[in-house]
Structure 1
Amino acid sequence: MLKDILKEKFSEVIRAIFPVVAIVLILSVTIVPMPTHVVMVFLYSCILLMIGMVFFTIGSEQAMEPMGNHVGTRITKTRKLWLILPLGFLLGFMITISEPDLQVLANQVQSIPNRVLILSVSGGVALFLLAAMIRMVLGISLQRMLLFFYVIAFILACYAPPDFLAVAFDSGGVTTGPMTVPFIMAFGVGVSALRGSRHSSQDSFGLIALCSIGPIIAVLLLSLIFKPEDATFEPVVIPRVLHSLQLGGLFLAELPDQMHEIAQAVLPIAIFFGIFQLVLLHLQRKPLLRILHGIICTYIGLVLFLTGANVGFIPAGFDLGSILATLPYNWIIIPIGMLIGYFIIKAEPAVYVLMKQVEDITAGAVSGKLLLRSLSIGVAISVGLAMVRVLTGIHLFYMLIPGYLIALILTFIVPPVFTAIAFDSGGVASGPMTATFLLPFAIGACMTQGGNVVTDAFGVVTMVAMTPLVTIQLLGVMYMVKARRTPKTSVSQSTLENFGDYDIIEL
């Protein structure tokens, strides 16, 4: 049984990572002369990434999803808002502080101290998780909440200093990563399961969407009271290695830091769940041991994944972007960026969690493979647009405002389930691979071009988070057309409309 699971997971991971590896290797022997030691470190990093993803996906299924579901279901059974809302806020704050993507972004934002940025973003997620829970309790339309809060975000953005603008929108993307997504989505399923409606499970979508807005507004508010420091961005380099022992030493030197950081991330959640188990939950020994095993797998997976990402992926992405930007035909960085973006989404751990949740909750009405293909197209477009910004210095607003305007207009057209999935997908797409490869890729190209890193390179994460909002909802338009033309289709119009029904909970 375990052998079959490992074989299946390794097969999925190899299919996810291989295209990115192949692209980098082909470029390194054709038009991008990368140093040999950088390529070697990159390849070793890929091995760690693959092993880490296998452990993480197993751990997510065994621990993070069941923990979120159990906690959500149990606190909702109390029918006490005074308990549900504070616990939701606490969970949102803790799970965000533990998010590895946020740590990666904070380390690359030189103008804002790490602690200030992390606490601001965590507070934003916690408040908006609270808002998402209130939405489920009162049956408020997700469309109205998205429209209201994005209007507020863009109004605040008009008054924010330029150094904060891209970082604020990027923060909204990185907070919904491999720790946050499985826990919060399962938490939402647990809360919504007790609404008493046969369609209440679809209401669990949208939590990630709302939690992605919180950090944007929180950092924009921070910009009104906090003066950023002068930032000096240094090139990311890998020390030259002469033999295999030095190569191994690079990873061993990074390992203790990642073990410490991930322990700080996972331990608070494990302790919280342990206290919750003793006081309210009282699970039997077998499911409890399964969750414990899952927590250990999650920890090992994230340590290996982020060690590989930090040692090999960040420098490789930086070098690749830097060298491409020096070419006489540097415009080639746009199609290459799009190609990398198309495939890199398949290496995001949280994407597979979302795919599984979507297939389960929509009873297969929305295919996981079709969702992944739509995400890939969206991310490819977004990375291409981000590279245009790097080369031309176009203001981020000229891309964000039309993109979000189209996405919000589509919310009035497509069935609500597609809106919820689309906005959830935007947060999930901008995970650790974006923060550890695409962002350094953009920074390297921008520094070589002599551009402003804070205003021109940052923003790639939010671009990745934005385009799926449009592509997934366009998928919803296609389903509507298909349902109208083929009455006997497996996804009928009435089914899609039912996904949007909302009932009031009485607590």
Structure 2
Amino acid sequence: MLHNELLREKVYESVASVLPITIIVLLLTITIAPLTPGTMMLFLFGAVLLIVGMGFFTLGVDMSMIPMGEGIGVQLSKAKKIILPLLVCFVLGVLITIAEPDLQVLAEQVPSIPNMVLIWTVAIGVGLFLVVSQIRIIFGIPLSYILIFFYAIVFLLTFFVPEDFIPVSFDSGGVTTGPVTVPFIMALGIGMASVRSDKNSSSDSFGLTAICSIGPILSVMILGICYSPEDAAYSMVELSELDSTREVAMQFARAFPAYMEEVAVALIPIAGVFIVFQCIFRRFHSRQLLRILSGFVYSYIGLVLFLTGVNVGFMPAGQYIGSAVAGSSQPWVLIPIGMVIGYFIVKAEPAVQVLTRQVEDVTNGSITQKAIGHSLSIGIAFSVGIAMLRILTGLNIMWFLVPGYLISLVMTFFVPQIFTGIAFDSGGVASGPMTTTFLLPLAMGACEAMGGNVLTDAFGIVAMVAMTPLLTIQMLGLADNVRKRIRKRKLILQLREVEDSIIYFD
């Protein structure tokens, strides 16, 4: 009964997240970007699956992924020898990354490199950098030092990587921080940092996702240098003509088995790790185990529904709309339309829901879900606007990424450490399945209509989405710092006035 009430609450939250972007798309389809009836039905069915799937998934994460990740993190931090937790972190990073559904999609779209070579390269990159994260927490190394050092290496390597392969490298950092990976890694970080009692323990609980996003970028860049691929292109979305609601239903029916298998492959390694952990440490009692098992079932159902909805329903709509708007007499409207879509679409990312909720819990409400949500939406709006500008002008993405990351890294020295961790985590979290299945086809459709180079002009939108939250969240932290200083000064002035009045009366 309690689970039903919680599920109903999660579904209501999903409606509030998905409804705005659904309304925006519907308005576009009856004005400047009319969809065919079949594609419209795909989109509407997809929106329903999205809402229900997100409700199941967020409930499942609360019941299983978060307590499981925190439990493993706490146990690792209690280990007397450092080698064992580092080895476990590496294995966890590799297994969870191989399980990420978005990575399978990326591997299929890079024909110049065998699928398993790319998957294992990305997985090893995440595993190694999860070890780096554990070392940082153990020794209390500031997150800003880690980020500056490794991003300097990333941008140095761009001079040696084939130009067409750079988008694949940056996109790999985004796809690895998907709906399966993020909840577990974030909970793992909270668990590892919770054992410590110093003042930086809460801020150190964030930053694992940020660091783990760097690993795939570096590893895929090195792979690109070794392979020297001539073709790193992505395949365009194939759009089929649908004449009846039965054909629309059949599209979803054919997709369900594939995503059921994909999500099962994604969750089984995590379940296996948990079973081994429980057999060794006996951390959870029977009632907790039953709750975690129920959470796994909810997570499985939710991810199947969500991924089917976005891939089958949202992807064709995104490509159609991008193509129609760019092919109109006023293609410049791509920029404001893209910004509006970007502002609302981030609210429908399942991992974003997990991040904002955990931020509020860890900070005891001092950093609210609403504040983080608004900052993320503003950042994604700017990133999609810039992406549309690039499609119209052909500007090189490095003109935006280099100064953006440079400013964000400099800001790490001026904002509270916890905001730095949240900001860089947000960059990875925001570039999830909604970005790859709606915004990316939107950009590809627009680029095709404009006659541009899809590989260099359209791709990179994932990298932009991952970059702008770094700036907006840290600006939120900077504003919070300024407010605290102002309040402190006012308090000092008030105390001085009280002291002066006491002296005067004496």
CA contact under 8 A between 2:33 and 2:320: conserved in structure 1? Answer: no
1:65/1:186 contact within 8 Å kept: yes
The 5 Å alignment of 1:25-424 reads 25-228=26-229, 230=231, 235-424=236-425
For 2:317 and 2:161, the matched residues in 1 are separated by: 32
Instruction: In structure 1, give the amino acid aligned to 2:423.
Output: A
Q: Specify whether residues 22 and 121 from structure 1 end up closer, same or farther in structure 2 by C-alpha distance, changes over 3 A only.
A: same
Q: Which has the higher mean CA deviation after the structures are superposed, 99-108 or 454-463? A: 99-108
Do the aligned partners of 2:11 and 2:56 also contact (CA within 8 Å) in 1?
Answer: no
Residues 69 and 190, structure 1, Cα contact 8 Å, conserved in 2: yes
Deviating more after overlay: 363-372 vs 341-350? 363-372
Match of 1:494 in 2: none
| Matched-pair contact (CA < 8 Å) for 2:73–2:189 | yes
C-alpha distance in 1 between matches for 2:234 and 2:179: 27
Give CA deviations for 1:265-307 in whole Å, capped at 9, x if unaligned: 1111111211211122352111001111111111111111111
CA distance in 2, matches of 1:233, 1:434: 15
CA displacement, residues 458-496 of structure 1 (integer Å, 9 cap, x when unaligned): 110110010000011111111111112123999xxxxxx
Matched letter for residue 39 of structure 1: M
Structure 1 residue 243: deviation in Å?
2.6
**CA root-mean-square deviation:** 1.7
Partner of residue 432, structure 2 = 431
Amino acid at match of 1:436: T
- Aligned 8 A contact 1:68 1:186 in 2: yes
Matches of 1:106 and 1:331 in 2, distance apart? 33
Structure 1's 117 and 449: CA in aligned 2 closer, same or farther, altered over 3 A?
A: farther
Q: Could you tell me whether the CA contact under 8 Å between 1:337 and 1:384 is conserved in 2?
A: yes
Q: Name the counterpart of 1:464.
A: 465
- d(CA) in 1 for partners of 2:254, 2:31: 32
SS in 2 for 1:197: coil
Q: State the distance in 2 between where 1:488 and 1:307 align.
A: 54
For residue 78 of structure 1, what is the amino acid of its counterpart? A
Following TM superposition, by how much is the alpha carbon of 1:346 offset from its aligned partner in structure 2, in angstroms? 0.3
Verify the 8 A CA contact 2:164 2:231 in the aligned structure 1: no
Runs of 4+ in 1 over 6 A off after TM superposition: none
Cα distance per residue 1:105-158 (max 9 Å; x no partner): 334445544333222211111111100100011111111111000000000011
Matched residue SS, 1:16: helix
For the 8 Å contact 1:439–1:458, the answer to whether it is kept is: yes
TM-score, scaled relative to structure 2:
0.94
| Normalised TM-score (structure 1) | 0.93
Name the CA distance, whole Å, in 2 between partners of 1:35 and 1:109. Answer: 30
Provide the rounded CA distance (Å) in 1 between the counterparts of 2:151 and 2:388.
25
SS, match of residue 413 in structure 2: coil
Give the C-alpha shift of residue 208 in structure 1: 0.9
Once the two structures are TM-superposed, the CA of residue 67 in structure 1 deviates from its matched residue by: 1.1
- Is the contact made by 1:112 and 1:229 (CA closer than 8 Å) also made in structure 2? no
Task: State the SS of the aligned residue for 1:327.
Answer: coil
Q: Give yes or no for contact 2:178–2:433 (8 Å, CA) kept in 1.
A: yes
Question: AA paired with 2:139?
Answer: L
Contact 2:169 2:217 in 1 (8 A): yes
Q: Which amino acid aligns with 1:256?
A: P
Whether the aligned pair in 2 keeps the contact of 1:205 and 1:417 (CA below 8 Å) is yes
What stretches of structure 1 of length at least 5 have no aligned partner? 491-507
* Paired residues of 2:162 and 2:229 also in contact (CA < 8 A): no
Moved more, 196-205 or 36-45: 196-205
What is the CA–CA distance in structure 2 between the aligned matches of 1:262 and 1:108, rounded to whole Å?
A: 19
- Structure 1 SS opposite 2:440: helix
Q: State the secondary structure of the residue aligned to 1:18.
A: helix
Structure 2 counterpart of 1:57, which letter? T
Letter in 1 for 2:223: L
Question: What displacement does 1:6 show?
Answer: 2.2
The residue aligned with 1:443 is 444
Name the structure 2 match of 1:17. Answer: 18
| Conservation of the 8 A alpha-carbon contact between 1:142 and 1:206 | yes
Identity %: 52
Q: CA deviation at 1:400?
A: 0.4
**Separation in 2, partners of 1:195, 1:140:** 14
Q: Is the 8 A contact 1:105 1:435 kept in 2?
A: no
Q: 472-481 or 376-385: which moved more? A: 472-481
Residue 497 (structure 2) aligns with: none
Residue 22 and residue 106 in structure 1: after superposition, are their counterparts in 2 closer, same or farther (change >3 A)?
A: farther
Partners of 2:401 and 2:464 within 8 A in 1 = yes
Distance change >3 Å, CA 33–CA 170, structure 1 → 2: same
Whose Rg is larger?
Answer: 2
CA change 1:17–1:261 in 2 (3 A) is same
Instruction: Name the amino acid aligned to 1:392.
Output: T
1:157 and 1:165 in contact (8 A); partners too? yes
Alignment CA distance shift 1:176-1:165 (3 Å): same
Distance 1:29 1:278 in 2: 57
Equivalent position of 2:481 in the other structure? 480
Quick check: 1:482–1:489 contact (8 Å CA) kept in 2? no
Secondary structure of residue in 2 paired with 1:486: helix
Give the length in aligned residue pairs. Answer: 490
Counterparts of 1:425 and 1:132 in 2: how far apart (Å)? 16
SS of residue matched to 1:49 = helix
CA distance in 2, matches of 1:489, 1:286: 51
CA contact (8 A) 1:166 1:396 kept: no
Pick which of 359-368 and 379-388 moved more.
359-368
Distance in 2 separating the partners of 1:31 and 1:395? 28
1:403 Cα deviation after fit: 0.5
Q: Within 1, Cα distance between the matches of 2:300 and 2:71?
A: 20
Distance 1:139 1:128 in 2: 16
CA offset digits 1:349-369 (Å, max 9, x no partner) = 011111111111112111110
Kept in 2, the 8 Å contact 1:17–1:346? The answer is yes
Q: Which moved more, 1:96-105 or 1:386-395?
A: 96-105
Deviations 1:304-338 (A, max 9, x none): 11111111111111111111111121111111111
Partner Cα separation in structure 2 for residue 241 and residue 253 of structure 1: 14
Deviation at residue 343 of structure 1 after TM alignment: 0.1
